[in-house]
Amino acid sequence: MDLSIVIVNYNTKEITADCLDSLKKNTKGIDCEVIVVDNNSSDGSIPMLRKRAKRKEIILIANNENLGFGKANNMGIKIAKGRYVLLLNSDTIISENILFEMVGWMDSHKNADISTCALKNKDGTYQGTGGSFPDIFRVFAWMFFIEDIPVLDKIIKPYHPMHPVSPIYKGSDSFEQSAQRDWITGAFMLFRSDVFKKIGVFDEDFFMYVEEVELCYRARKKGLSIWYLPKWSITHFGGASGVGKFSLIQEYKGIKLFYKKHLPKWQMPLLRYFLKAGALLRITGYYLAGNREVAEAYAQAYKIA
């Protein structure tokens, strides 16, 4: 089998159905299986998924609790039979036959271990995708808005590049160019199946957010290559299964856990200081702008930083 596609579903019945329909239409010429791992959804997803499983459109793993992103993906990875494994978010739409072409690219580039395509918004604009590992300087630049300054972010190589649609970058922006990356976003991650034998699967201590950064960190430490390939793209709606406050707090928790596991102990106090200072700046800014909801989310993040 060429490809195993693993999708985690949590209360995203309609968009998961749309994603599966897009796969059905756009996997011509490729021998693949689709594995859906449901994290105890309560929105009617299970009956819909069971019908598709009965028609053998998918293989369904139905959990009795929400196990998080990494652990649920691991369940799919462990039963995957393909030469390649694609981890695909439920809030995505595959167009054209990009999976066939990307598998072909990987077959002809034996030095490529992990790859992703461009992620685009519904209007066709690029999304920030992946970035550089969050060393202490990059966290400082992130928290104090330095990475948001045009031109400077080209020097810093930020943890979260976020300027792909600005006219100042048109024609030279990294999101329009193929390149190796430190880490790529979990919405679309295409692996050679033997990568998991070399580095293991997702660290299940990460419930959701930063787990893909940690996995890519282990891959790069083993000398594996990670490629961003904007010749191909998918539509990514983004954030469909999570709310702002939840994702923000989980990222704060995730970055702290990443530092605990992989970086020198002396950096943890600096990390926490930068996270708290960045949260305070955002609390002030959002309150002044009248966005109380986001300000309160950062207040919660400040507490756990």
Return the higher-pLDDT residue of 145 and 4. 4
Q: Which residues contact 236 (CB under 8 A, 6 or more apart)?
A: 89, 91, 92, 119, 120, 121, 127, 187, 188
Backbone φ and ψ for 31, nearest 5 degrees, come out as -85, 110
Identify the pLDDT of residue 169. 41
Tell me the pairing of strands 3-9 and 32-38.
parallel
Question: Burial of 293 by CB count in 10 Å (0-12 exposed, 13-18 middle, 19+ buried)?
Answer: exposed
Distance between CA atoms of residues 252 and 154, nearest Å: 24
Identify the pLDDT of residue 171. 39
Q: Nearest-CA neighbor of 102 among 16, 94, 212, 120?
A: 94
Question: Burial of 47 by CB count in 10 Å (0-12 exposed, 13-18 middle, 19+ buried)?
Answer: exposed
Residue whose token pair is 């955002």? 282
Q: Which two tokens stand for residue 243?
A: 């709310």
Domain 3-132+158-240 CATH (choose: 1.20.1270.10, 3.90.550.10, 3.10.20.600, 3.20.20.70)? 3.90.550.10
Task: Please give the average per-residue pLDDT across 32-45, as a whole number.
Answer: 96
Q: Which two tokens stand for residue 47?
A: 């009956």
Identify the pLDDT of residue 158. 87
- Buried b / exposed e over 266-278, threshold 16 CB at 10 Å, is eeeeebeebbbeb
Helix (H) or strand (E) holding 54: helix 45-54
Query: What is the 8-class DSSP label of residue 167?
Result: G
Distance between CA atoms of residues 165 and 128, nearest Å: 9
For the entire predicted model, the pTM comes to 0.91
Confidence category of residue 164, pLDDT binned at 50, 70, 90 = very low
Confidence category of residue 235, pLDDT binned at 50, 70, 90 = very high
Distance between CA atoms of residues 259 and 110, nearest Å: 32
Calculate Rg over the CA atoms of the chain.
19
Q: Which two tokens stand for residue 17?
A: 């159905």
SS3 34: strand
Q: How far is CA 268 from the centre of its chain?
A: 24
- Say if residues 121 and 127 touch (Cβ distance below 8 Å): yes
Percent of the chain with pLDDT over 70: 94
Task: Please give the average per-residue pLDDT across 233-244, as a whole number.
Answer: 70
Tell me the pairing of strands 32-38 and 59-62.
parallel
Q: Nearest-CA neighbor of 301 among 291, 289, 164, 281?
A: 281
Q: What is the pLDDT of residues 96-142, one digit of tens each?
A: 889 999 999 999 999 999 999 999 888 888 888 888 999 999 999 99
Identify the pLDDT of residue 136. 96
Distance between CA atoms of residues 144 and 151, nearest Å: 16
- Sorted by where each begins, the domain ranges of the chain are 3-132+158-240
DSSP secondary structure, 59-108, as one string: EEEE-SS---HHHHHHHHHHH--SSEEEEEETTEE--TTHHHHHHHHHHH
Identify the pLDDT of residue 173. 53
Average per-residue pLDDT for the chain: 91
Identify the pLDDT of residue 43. 94
Distance between CA atoms of residues 31 and 207, nearest Å: 31
